[in-house]
A and B are shown apart, each in its own frame.
Chain A
């Protein structure tokens, strides 16, 4: 019932949350535009449609907590640091890049935030960090973002086993967007994510919809328990609006339409068109200004050790 209520109560968003989500959305669209113009190197994976997940979790995390992100991590970074300049500079290889342009979109480290580009690799590392925290800074946790596709990796199960066995403060956030690159969940995942968490005796919560206050109220006490050594898997049922990376979307028009119909922004626009429209414009203008400023910077410099 909770999930139905959350789904119905779509626009339970205050302006600060909404603006942050819209900034992430505008940032991702800007990246795709820059790619289209041939101004970005390599590849990128946008989180279009999933922006609300890290925004929902951000107030539940503290500065002592570690966050582990993945290949689709721009939203995670922006929700934590609100630093589109540093992130875009990293992706564009410009001065002021968070990691001097070495890591790029998928490999970012700042303070207690770290992303890596190999599926499942970060879970054992997060277990190590959580082991450290449990001894040195009790009460702090390691939050790891993974996707449904990540469950194909054996490292996930080795790590879940250790996390449960050693009662480590690890919060696993699964952004279940129903598709791993081009492969739908039905073709890559036997059973359920809930079942896999249950196999290790790890708690599991499935979150539908994007009523952020309701999600926070529900997850707050559970995240507090993670800090005491009761690890948790939170599965967000979400949607990837865009392609896996740039132009590689082979989904049917119908499934793309379903994702768009479920988009949080579509619901918000429908509920408060003028207000949301104004915030969208402001977010786009902010990101346009960031892009113009960052693109004009000199190339980043890196001195190899």
Chain B
């Protein structure tokens, strides 16, 4: 099953199971079913609870933040995650704050879905990975879709958190297969973290969100075959708060598509340094896209975005010197 189909099936299941759940977004009604077709069929199956909205990211996020404390639940689709910038006030100053600023916990069962990432030639304002801008907000949890995590379980976990969640969905994942990892690698999921590993103890550990997992696995394969470097990949479903036990390894890398500066990886690195400084051969290495806007033309876009060759090159250099 492709990731887009799994997401769509998860939304159907969660709408079916939770009768107080609304889904709001632009162009989400059938027959269009959302810009990336993730909401296809939902408005037909759940008319009245699937609401198409004006082009008003701030207001629809605010509507979700009003439904939540009134006792309902809501999932908001931001057409391109880049437009979550227009909903930032509602997320930062109202939804996340409401969890605690009124002195007693206020349940805020809402998820804002943000299709992110480049590689499709959509240009500077439709290709970003904005995860880093949402890190460190009290009361706001960040998740990312991965090919290894069952999306229904992730939705149920987010809606049970009683605090607003942002779900990042890398657009290039939509057409990829779920749960697919080829030999000699194995995958297992435990405690919200997917682990892609070899039978032998690894030379290095890579932490990466779901959106770049397949690029990392491709690099792991070439590193193994060409360099005999064995890697373990950890893919957390929840990016923040980050609470992942990184196994002891001399080299740790964090890979993400974000452009340089103030990255999620820097937050992860700090976490790993504090826990494991004495076991590391050197500081955690951050692998990400360049410090740049995301160009539209494919040859220019490729220069900016992190890819499997970048991952291979950096890891080889750090491990082999």
Contacts and interface: CB of A to CB of B under 8 A. Distances in A.
A69 to B, nearest CB: 13
Contacts of B67: 128-129, 131-132
A127 B93 contact: no
A165 B103 contact: no
Interface in B40-91: 51, 53-54, 56, 58-72, 74, 89-90
Interface in B95-113: 97-106
Given A100-B104, A302-B103, A127 B59 contact: yes
A124 B59 contact: yes
Nearest to B55: A158
Q: Which among A118, A121, A132 has the highest number of chain B CB atoms within 10 Å?
A: A132
B93 A124 contact: no
Given A121-B93, A305-B105, A102 B63 contact: no
B66 A101 contact: no
| Interface size of A as a range | 35 or more
A162 B63 contact: yes
| Interface size of B as a range | 35 or more
B70 A128 contact: yes
Nearest to B87: A124
Interface string B294-314: 000000000000000000000
Interface of A: 66, 97-103, 107-109, 114, 116-118, 121-133, 136, 154-155, 158-159, 161-162, 165-166, 302, 304-305
Interface of B: 22, 51, 53-54, 56, 58-72, 74, 89-90, 93-94, 97-106
Given A128-B66, A128-B70, A131-B66, A305 B59 contact: no
Given A102-B101, A124-B66, A131-B66, A158 B56 contact: yes
21 contacts: A102-B103, A107-B97, A107-B101, A109-B102, A109-B106, A118-B89, A121-B89, A124-B58, A124-B59, A124-B66, A125-B62, A125-B63, A131-B67, A132-B71, A155-B58, A155-B89, A158-B54, A161-B54, A162-B53, A162-B60, A162-B63
Q: Which among A103, A124, A131 has the highest number of chain B CB atoms within 10 Å?
A: A124
A33 B90 CA distance: 34
Given A127-B59, A128-B62, A158-B56, A98 B94 contact: no
A302 B105 CA distance: 11
Given A128-B70, A129-B66, 8 more contacts: A99-B101, A107-B97, A121-B89, A128-B63, A132-B67, A133-B70, A155-B59, A159-B59
Q: Which among B67, B90, B105, B106 has the highest number of chain A CB atoms within 10 Å?
A: B67
Contacts of B59: 123-124, 127, 155, 158-159, 161-162
